[in-house]
Amino acid sequence: NCIICFEEVTAASGFSNEDESSSRVVMLSQCKHYFHDECIFACVQSKTSEFLECPKCRTLHGIKTGNQPEGTMTYVVQNGMQIPGFNSTSAIVITYNFRSGIQGPQHPNPGARYHANAFPRVAYLPNTAKGQEVLRLLQIAWARSLIFAIGRSSTSGADNVIVWNDIHHKTEWQSNYSGHGYPDPDYIKRVTEELHAHGIR
Ligand SMILES: [Zn+2]
Ligand SMILES: [Zn+2]
């Protein structure tokens, strides 16, 4: 069955007005799932960016981009920082910075102000081969505007603020008071999966 309209793929689309073209079926190129032409087209039209997530298996087709506002991402490799749980004696220190501004048409409240609270924010990775690979993926995520978004802060409840966009970062490197620190042996694996889920490889 077409999981968008729940009709069989051999029958007409539930979105249609019963003309002949409405029973046309398309297969997505990456995951090979079938949908009615009209049903998947209705999904694409409801999005603002040039990608489609398969409604059945969530495989991304095209490039997913976010609504992160203008800002900067910089990093340095800092010697003498041994992150607990890794044997590298240096760390990758990433700094994100934003200024407050006015929301554009791609944001939740166009024309309203958005606020850059608690910036710059600093995140840490071990300077290992896998840590460097996560940095590479984060740089792609940054270029695609996926690391931050404008939305509601889960800590303060405030709207129209710049928030993390479900790619987890470590904001403490030798402690874990916030729950976003080290040691965390599975972190590299988890954040890599989070980046893959956004289509970043
Ligand atoms: Zn359908
Ligand atoms: Zn699929």
**Same domain as 140, residue 78:** yes
**Same domain as 81, residue 1:** no
ipTM surpassing 0.90, yes or no?
no
* Alpha carbons 126 and 193: distance in angstroms, whole number: 17
CATH number of domain containing 35? 3.30.40.10
Ligand nearest to the CA of 10: 1
Query: Which of 73, 52, 59 lies closest to 143 in space, CA to CA?
Result: 73
Indicate the residue among 21, 43, 62 that finishes a domain: 62
C-alpha 11 – ligand 1 centre gap (Å): 9
* Alpha carbons 100 and 16: distance in angstroms, whole number: 45
Q: How many structural domains are present in the chain?
A: 2
C-alpha 61 – ligand 1 centre gap (Å): 18
The pLDDT, as a whole number, for residue 22 is 63
What average pLDDT score do residues 152-162 get? 92
**Same domain as 173, residue 156:** yes
Token match 């990093």: residue?
A: 75
What average pLDDT score do residues 81-110 get? 95
Domain span at residue 18 reads 1-62
The pLDDT, as a whole number, for residue 62 is 85
- C-alpha 40 chain-centroid distance: 22
The pLDDT, as a whole number, for residue 200 is 93
Please say if the pLDDT value at position 110 is more than 80: yes
Please say if the pLDDT value at position 19 is more than 70: no
Q: Are 90 and 77 in contact (CB under 8 A)?
A: yes
**Same domain as 20, residue 101:** no
Residue 114, Cβ density class (10 Å: 0-12 exposed, 13-18 middle, ≥19 buried):
buried
C-alpha 68 – ligand 2 centre gap (Å): 27
Q: Work out the mean pLDDT of the chain and round it to a whole number.
A: 90
The pLDDT, as a whole number, for residue 16 is 59
**Same domain as 79, residue 47:** no
